[in-house]
């Protein structure tokens, strides 16, 4: 072997080695974010979750009924995944998010976070998990203290959670503000001195300050201009890739949900009516309610627009849900069974729907008869 061939093989070897190292790094990163489904590890499992708000009346506040805001909801979210949750106003999206974090107490059901049952924890144990599960609100302004600067607010959080104090905390504040697209000098400003988009960046900084694993994003861009919406969505996606975050992304905007989600669930009157991989749900919606929602989404090319499905009737009250399928008074495909039988959320290949047009949605006892 001459000198030339030795140096050529050494060079080839180092290229192969460098590439292999690069691939290993990339694969390790994907496994960390669980984007490769070798083991679909769930960060969050929600089982049979219910939240009924009592309706009280009279001098003695007698309970005369319940608003069934969340009524037997079951789903799970994989590590590093974004699960979109869509549905009309009042269907229970926010209540799902807040109940998962135990900002409101569930009426029934279980929330398993990272293998631990959140629902049975006492407040002391819950404090540790509060750090790992955060929320970003639609209107961050209403949740910011107007009398305290942004730097002051973040420093207090660092102190409360024993993350950093003094100079170390100040440095952390600067880094965090820069990471969410703000500047160091913004630490000295008060919430009213920011624009809507900047306030949402502060909301994101506040959620990130405790280094969480999971964030409920409750309509984080609904109150913003379209151009600012995309900046915030891009920021959320960058942060997810950088820190391996897992999101529950709540919105009534199906275009935004399509952009950011891996899987999507559709909610109607406190229940999930469809649950699928994003591509599958948008290309082939099973439930007539999802079909109606998607038919109303504007498309860039008007020649490709499918016929809009107009739903008749109002959304029923969650304190007086209809018999059988809750959607039957408004469903364009309603048939005799629909007012008598309540469908199960069921289906094959990760695509589930609760609709009696699909035999698997008939309850087990009826299928067995």
Ligand X SMILES: Nc1ncnc2c1ncn2[C@@H]1O[C@H](COP(=O)(O)OP(=O)(O)OP(=O)(O)O)[C@@H](O)[C@H]1O
Binding site for ligand X (CB under 6 A): 53, 67, 69, 87, 89-95, 252, 318
Whose Cβ is closer to ligand X: residue 42's or residue 51's? 51
Among residues 52, 249, 327, 362, the one that binds ligand SF4 under rule CB under 6 A: 327
DSSP state of 148: S
Residue whose Cβ sits closest to Mg ion: 94
Please give the span between the terminal C-alpha atoms of the chain, in angstroms, as a whole number: 80
Print the binding letters for residues 66-95 with Mg ion: x by CB under 5 A, - otherwise: ----------------------------x-
Cβ atoms of 322 and 316 within 8 Å: the answer is yes
Look at residue 252 and give the partner it binds from ligand X, Mg ion, ligand SF4, none, a contact being a CB closer than 5 to 8 Å depending on partner kind: ligand X
> What order do you get walking across the sheet with 214-218 strand by strand?
133-136, 214-218, 246-251, 82-86, 263-268, 271-277, 352-353
Among residues 101, 215, 264, 331, the one that binds ligand SF4 under rule CB under 6 A: 331
CA distance 221 to 17: 44
- Residue 326 CB, nearest approach to Mg ion (Å): 19
Whose Cβ is closer to ligand SF4: residue 204's or residue 338's? 338
Cβ atoms of 310 and 298 within 8 Å: the answer is no
- The two tokens of residue 79 are 């590590």
Footprint of ligand SF4 on residues 253-292 (CB under 6 A)? 287-288
Cβ atoms of 263 and 44 within 8 Å: the answer is no
**Binding status of residue 328 toward ligand SF4 by CB under 6 A:** yes
- Return all residues near 72 (Cβ < 8 A) that are at least 6 apart: 48, 49, 50, 109, 271
Distance set, CA 21 to CA 25, 26, 33, 242, 350 (Å) = 6, 9, 18, 19, 34
Whose Cβ is closer to ligand SF4: residue 118's or residue 331's? 331
Half-sphere exposure at residue 359, Cβ-oriented, CA atoms within 13 angstroms? 2
Whose Cβ is closer to Mg ion: residue 157's or residue 265's? 265
Whose Cβ is closer to ligand X: residue 78's or residue 93's? 93
- Of 126, 130, 122, 192, the closest CA to residue 157 belongs to 130
Look at residue 92 and give the partner it binds from Mg ion, ligand X, ligand SF4, none, a contact being a CB closer than 5 to 8 Å depending on partner kind: ligand X
Look at residue 53 and give the partner it binds from Mg ion, ligand SF4, ligand X, none, a contact being a CB closer than 5 to 8 Å depending on partner kind: ligand X
CA distance 264 to 82: 9
Look at residue 356 and give the partner it binds from ligand SF4, Mg ion, ligand X, none, a contact being a CB closer than 5 to 8 Å depending on partner kind: ligand SF4
Size of the site for Mg ion (CB under 5 A): 1
Stretch of 48-56, 65-73, 118-126, 322-330 contacting ligand SF4, by CB under 6 A? 322-330
Whose Cβ is closer to Mg ion: residue 174's or residue 218's? 218
Beta strands in the chain (DSSP E): 42-57, 62-78, 82-86, 108-113, 116-117, 133-136, 214-218, 246-251, 263-268, 271-277, 352-353
> Would you tell me how many other CB atoms lie within 10 Å of the CB of residue 218?
21
- Residue 315 CB, nearest approach to ligand SF4 (Å): 14
Footprint of ligand SF4 on residues 343-362 (CB under 6 A)? 343, 355-357
Whose Cβ is closer to ligand SF4: residue 223's or residue 334's? 334
CA distance 95 to 108: 13
Whose Cβ is closer to ligand SF4: residue 162's or residue 365's? 365
- Residue 307 CB, nearest approach to Mg ion (Å): 29
Whose Cβ is closer to ligand X: residue 93's or residue 186's? 93
CA distance 106 to 100: 8
Query: Environment class of residue 102 by beta-carbon count within 10 Å: exposed (0-12), middle (13-18) or buried (19+)?
Result: middle
Q: Give the footprint of ligand SF4 on this chain (CB under 6 A).
A: 287-288, 325, 327-328, 331, 333-334, 338, 343, 355-357
Q: Give the footprint of Mg ion on this chain (CB under 5 A).
A: 94
């Amino acid at each position: 072997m001459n000198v030339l061939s030795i140096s050529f093989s050494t060079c080839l070897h180092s290229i192969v080695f460098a590439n292999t190292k690069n691939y290993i790094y990339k694969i390790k990163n994907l496994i960390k974010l669980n984007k490769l489904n070798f083991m679909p590890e769930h960060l969050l499992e929600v089982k049979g979750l219910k939240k009924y708000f009592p309706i009280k009346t009279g001098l003695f506040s007698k309970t005369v009924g319940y608003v069934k805001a969340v009524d037997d909801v079951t789903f799970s979210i994989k590590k590093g995944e974004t699960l979109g949750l869509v549905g009309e106003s009042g269907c229970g999206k926010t209540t799902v998010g807040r109940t998962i974090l135990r900002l409101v107490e569930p009426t029934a059901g279980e929330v398993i976070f990272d293998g631990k049952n959140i629902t049975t924890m006492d407040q002391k144990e819950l404090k540790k998990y509060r750090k790992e599960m955060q929320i970003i609100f639609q209107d961050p302004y209403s949740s910011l203290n107007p009398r305290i600067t942004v730097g002051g607010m973040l420093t207090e959080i660092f102190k409360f959670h024993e993350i950093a104090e003094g100079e170390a905390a100040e440095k952390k504040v600067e880094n965090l503000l820069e990471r969410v697209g703000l500047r160091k000098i913004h630490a000295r400003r008060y919430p009213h001195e920011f624009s809507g988009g900047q306030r949402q960046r502060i909301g994101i900084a506040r959620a990130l300050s405790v280094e969480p694993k999971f964030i409920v994003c409750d309509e984080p861009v609904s109150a913003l201009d379209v151009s600012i919406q995309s900046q915030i969505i891009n920021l959320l996606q960058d942060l997810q890739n950088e820190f391996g975050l897992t999101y529950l992304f709540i919105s009534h905007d199906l275009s935004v949900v399509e952009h950011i989600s891996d899987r999507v669930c559709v909610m109607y009157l406190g229940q999930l009516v469809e649950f699928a991989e994003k591509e599958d749900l948008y290309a082939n919606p099973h439930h007539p309610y999802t079909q109606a929602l998607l038919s109303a989404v504007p498309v860039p090319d008007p020649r490709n627009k499918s016929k809009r499905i107009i739903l008749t009737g109002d959304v029923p009250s969650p304190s007086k849900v209809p018999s059988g399928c809750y959607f039957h008074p408004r469903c364009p495909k309603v048939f005799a069974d629909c007012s008598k039988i309540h469908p199960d959320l069921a289906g094959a290949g990760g695509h589930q729907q609760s609709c009696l047009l699909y035999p698997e949605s008939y309850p087990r006892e009826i299928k067995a008869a």
